[in-house]
């Protein structure tokens, strides 16, 4: 994983009872995400370097869409799943100003490189990167 996948994203809020749930915003829209480790004190309203990836529990449902399709991130109901439409470049999916990283894209979806795709994900995971001094 290269550093090109890190992005600066603001914390909007934490869930009141689910410790690992956080709402992030890059200025284009909120994402409800999960994180495993809180590597330092995280403060609502502050921005941090973050990497985003997916959790897909079953076989991934990835499909090519029209090249002129709009980029979108659509939350499915009040749960954690999303439908994401964006441009696949190597192991990265770019949608609505967010960058999602998944090595499976590079290996399993190489034939879709450079194309607009739609993918259904069960959850979006966020990894908070070390603070730069």
Domain residue limits, the chain: 3-128
Is pLDDT above 50 for 2? no
Is the overall model pTM greater than 0.75, yes or no?
Answer: yes
Q: Which of 17, 56, 6, 11 is nearest to 31 (CA)?
A: 11
As given in the structure block, the two tokens for residue 63 are 């499909």
As given in the structure block, the two tokens for residue 39 are 């590597």
Q: Tens digit of pLDDT for each residue in 57-103?
A: 988 889 999 999 999 999 998 889 999 999 999 999 999 999 999 88
Q: Tens digit of pLDDT for each residue in 23-55?
A: 999 999 999 999 988 889 999 999 999 999 999
CA–CA dist 52, 57 (Å, integer): 17
Q: Which residues share a beta bridge with 14?
A: 22
């Amino acid at each position: 994983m290269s550093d090109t996948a890190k992005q600066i994203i603001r914390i909007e809020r934490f869930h009141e009872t689910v410790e690992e749930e956080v709402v992030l915003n890059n200025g284009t829209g909120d994402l409800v995400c999960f994180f495993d480790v809180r590597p330092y004190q995280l403060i609502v309203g502050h921005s941090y370097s973050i990497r985003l990836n997916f959790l897909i529990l079953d076989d991934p449902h990835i499909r090519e869409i029209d090249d002129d399709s709009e980029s979108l991130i659509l939350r499915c109901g009040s749960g954690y799943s999303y439908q994401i439409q964006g441009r696949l470049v190597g192991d990265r999916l770019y949608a609505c100003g967010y960058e999602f990283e998944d090595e499976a894209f590079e290996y399993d979806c190489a034939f879709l490189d450079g194309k607009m795709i739609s993918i259904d994900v069960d959850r979006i995971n966020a990894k908070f990167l070390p603070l730069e001094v």
